[in-house]
Amino acid sequence: MKKFFKILGIVLLVALFFGTFYYLYSKQKKKPDVFAVIEPKIETITKKTVATGSVVPRKEIEIKPQVSGIIDEIYLEAGQMVKRGDVIAKVKIIPDMVQLNSAESRVSRAKLSYEDAQIDYERQKKLYDQKVIPYEEFQKSKLAYNQANEELQSAENNLDLIKEGVTKKSKGNTNTLIRSTIEGMVLDVPVEEGNSVIQANTFNAGTTIALVADMNDMIFEGKVDETEVGRVHEGMNITLTIGAIEDEEFDALLTYLAPKGKEENGAVQFEIKADVQLKEDQFIRAGYSANASIVLEQHDSVLTIPESALKFEEEKVFVEIETDSQVFVKRYIETGLSDGVNIEVTDSLTIDDRLKGEKIVEEKKKGPGNK
């Protein structure tokens, strides 16, 4: 009986030994790699380029004063709508003392001449009424009187213009009222009441009183790299995406492509412009940054596969076709247009083929102590 238990113990020990060895061997044995299978699809391949820029009004006008002075009143603020001719601000003229003194002196001299001519005219008129002098002499005094009166009015008007910027006869047509030259929205009023302003002249562009733009006529201004400008031409459709306006796209039409590029950060960029086609309920603020997606080439309903499935051998391109479960063979193919993610296959592949994809990596199961 003891011998039986002894033999049984030895058998169990040997079985335990071989069992442990087999278990460790099984753990160490490498499992065969498993790859994902890719199915070709019939899709539309579109190659695009993206131009960065901003959306601005086509007409953005700087309103400048016609006279120099100080802003007396401002009637509008940014965001309000104006029509052509609406008054935006009023300028109070600060006259030049030399010009003012000269104008006042001219008025004084004109008054003296007028009073003297008036006295002579009245005297000559009495003599003419009494038929003491002929009409020719009376006519001379009348002419001198009229000329003196005209010179006095001219001197007074000149003084009013220097002091107030407007004459008494033409108060409605004054240069002191700054009016809008177009219909649109006031984008900015960079001055405040009390600021000094100057008119545009040969040596100065003048002070900007307000910026007015037509917000219903917007354009996109951006730049395209020299490597892609050869595929871009006027009349192409553009899709705009604006960072400040989420989940909304805007249609645009390319209308301008610069004939000359400018070097920026080591690359030559060409300016483009596109008309933004706004709907009735759409509004874009001036200066929004935007990205323009331009379709360079498009192939409809073609056989496509992911670019990740491609493999390269020197100058040839091939994929691995599944012939049996997880058994793949090499096949050379011809490719066409690519959008950076998917690529068109033009030859040697069908919709029924299955391609070798990425290796499937199994995640290790976490034990109770693993995090």
Residue-range domain boundaries for the chain: 35-45+300-359, 49-57+214-298, 61-92+176-213, 97-164
8 A C-beta contact, residue 188 and residue 82: no
For the record, the structure tokens of 264 come out as 């920026």
Mean pLDDT of 239-244: 89
Q: Specify the length of the chain in residues.
A: 371
Instruction: Give the list of residues 6+ apart from residue 243 with CB closer than 8 angstroms, or none.
Output: 288, 289, 290, 291
DSSP 12: H
Just give the CATH number of 97-164: 1.10.287.470
* Rounded CA separation 137/347 (Å): 113
pLDDT of 2: 65
pTM over 0.75: no
In this model, does residue 140 exceed pLDDT 60? yes
The kind and range of the H/E element at 154 are helix 135-164
β 35-38/355-359 pair status: antiparallel
CA max distance for the chain: 183
**What rounded mean pLDDT belongs to the chain?**
84
Cα distances from 272 to residues 64, 109, 144, 258, 363, in angstroms, run 29, 64, 68, 6, 50
Looking at domain 61-92+176-213, which CATH architecture does it have? Answer: Beta Barrel (2.40)
8 A C-beta contact, residue 320 and residue 356: yes
In this model, does residue 76 exceed pLDDT 70? yes
217, 216, 243: which is closest to 54 by C-alpha?
Answer: 243
Per-residue pLDDT of 146-186, as tens digits, reads 888 888 888 887 777 666 666 666 555 577 888 899 999 99
8 A C-beta contact, residue 216 and residue 278: yes
DSSP 311: E
* Residue 94: pLDDT band with limits 50, 70, 90: confident
8 A C-beta contact, residue 294 and residue 251: no
CATH class of 49-57+214-298: mainly beta
8 A C-beta contact, residue 207 and residue 201: no
* Residue 48: pLDDT band with limits 50, 70, 90: confident
Cα distances from 268 to residues 72, 226, 319, in angstroms, run 48, 6, 37
Q: Does domain 35-45+300-359 have CATH number 3.40.50.720?
A: no
* Rounded CA separation 149/244 (Å): 67
Between CA 147 and CA 156, with CA 152 as vertex, the angle to 5 degrees is 150
pLDDT of 212: 94
* Rounded CA separation 348/367 (Å): 48
Mean pLDDT of 219-234: 90
Task: Name the more confident of 339 and 164.
Answer: 339
Lowest mean pLDDT among 101-110, 243-252, 294-303, 324-333: 101-110
8 A C-beta contact, residue 320 and residue 37: no
For the record, the structure tokens of 181 come out as 């030259």
Helix, strand, coil % in the chain, rounded to nearest 5: 25, 40, 35
Cα distances from 273 to residues 238, 288, 291, in angstroms, run 10, 15, 12
Instruction: Give the list of residues 6+ apart from residue 339 with CB closer than 8 angstroms, or none.
Output: 45, 46, 47, 48
Instruction: Give the list of residues 6+ apart from residue 234 with CB closer than 8 angstroms, or none.
Output: 254, 255, 256, 257
In this model, does residue 369 exceed pLDDT 70? no
pLDDT of 133: 82
Helices marked H in 29-134: 97-129
